[in-house]
Chains A and B, each alone.
Chain A
């Protein structure tokens, strides 16, 4: 009963917020509603008793990814509407809706067709984090490690890109000399 109410509430809120993200012309509205939608998606995980995933959704998407978006948005004037140059709003809306519908059908069809069973049913007695860990470090060990490696590569390249000019100080050499003389005095 409560779960159904919660599910419908979360669905309506999530879809509504993501619609706002797509349809609004204001960067701030888009960003806020996207972040809000991410929070409500984590609600679904909590409803499915996948607490760990729900919290990870909160930390990663809401805390990190969206904050990075927000950081990029600071280069724009967030208080003004942006001008879009789409020629036909209805066409975009129609195509977008159709693609979404198709995706839903593709994902729903197998579930409706034959009752699929979960390949790795939750282990009795093991907590949420433990079950995720067990699957990650047995069945999906290689993809997990590859993902880790990719992230490492991304991090190192990021540091190199950002660190290229780290040795060039903004203070000129003269300033440093003057500073030293003052200290010696």
Chain B
């Protein structure tokens, strides 16, 4: 069965095959006949052959299923909702968060705490930003509500650590400045529209 077929949940469209179940024999002779037939038919050997074939495939066909987890990792979906990432602006490298506080407001498990202040240029800057991962339920509301696409869910699913604080600081979640090139943008809701460049107009201050 291919993956598409498997993912098709519309009941009735699949080409199911009915098993030809035998009726349970009623008479003693019928039961005897069934036993005799099953004994001679060698269905048990089919079962033995199946496991042996799989063993052959695994050992010599290179079809071993095991992922040696800490050494090998399966790729996870970009939609996976694990530990949050704080993104940076691609051009300037400055973090995107504008300190609006929407994520703090919407967080249903009340785990985001942030504090802002004005810096020397009278710009709002995020002075404190922590997510308590003991409480976070990874619902994704913060990422959804963020107007700047600043907070998104990332792929760091290995969340065991000696201290909870290991993930929860702003600096830990922020994309490292040298890894800016690897920061990925996805199309869709909230993303920059494809014709964003055409829509840019110079602000009146520039005149």
Chain A interface residues (CB < 8 Å from chain B): 180, 183
Q: Chain A residues near B21: list those with CB within 8 A.
A: 183
Which residue of B has the minimal Cβ distance to A176?
Answer: B24
A34 to B172, CA, bound (A): 72
Does more than half of chain B's interface fall in helix, strand or loop, or is it mixed? Answer: loop
Q: How many residues does chain B have at the interface if contact means C-beta atoms less than 8 Å apart? A: 2
Residues of B4-39 contacting chain A, CB below 8 A = 21, 23
3 A-B interface contacts by CB (under 8 A): A180-B23, A183-B21, A183-B23
A101 to B23, CA, bound (A): 67
Contact with A along B58-87 (1 / 0, CB 8 A): 000000000000000000000000000000
Q: Chain A residues near B23: list those with CB within 8 A.
A: 180, 183
B95 to A: closest C-beta gap in Å: 62
Q: Chain B residues near A183: list those with CB within 8 A.
A: 21, 23
Which residue of A has the minimal Cβ distance to B22?
Answer: A183
A183 to B23, CA, bound (A): 8
A20 to B: closest C-beta gap in Å: 47
A180 to B24, CA, bound (A): 9
Which residue of B has the minimal Cβ distance to A180?
Answer: B23
B94 to A: closest C-beta gap in Å: 66
Which residue of A has the minimal Cβ distance to B19?
Answer: A183
3 smallest beta-carbon distances between A and B, as pairs: A183-B21, A183-B23, A180-B23
Which residue of A has the minimal Cβ distance to B21?
Answer: A183
B66 to A: closest C-beta gap in Å: 39
A180 to B23, CA, bound (A): 8
Q: Chain B residues near A180: list those with CB within 8 A.
A: 23
A183 to B24, CA, bound (A): 10
Which residue of B has the minimal Cβ distance to A185?
Answer: B18
A183 to B19, CA, bound (A): 10
A166 to B: closest C-beta gap in Å: 12
A1 to B21, CA, bound (A): 70
B108 to A: closest C-beta gap in Å: 45
A183 to B21, CA, bound (A): 7
A180 to B21, CA, bound (A): 11
Which residue of B has the minimal Cβ distance to A183?
Answer: B21
A160 to B: closest C-beta gap in Å: 17
A180 to B22, CA, bound (A): 11
A173 to B: closest C-beta gap in Å: 13
A66 to B: closest C-beta gap in Å: 33
Which residue of A has the minimal Cβ distance to B23?
Answer: A183
A31 to B: closest C-beta gap in Å: 38
A61 to B74, CA, bound (A): 61
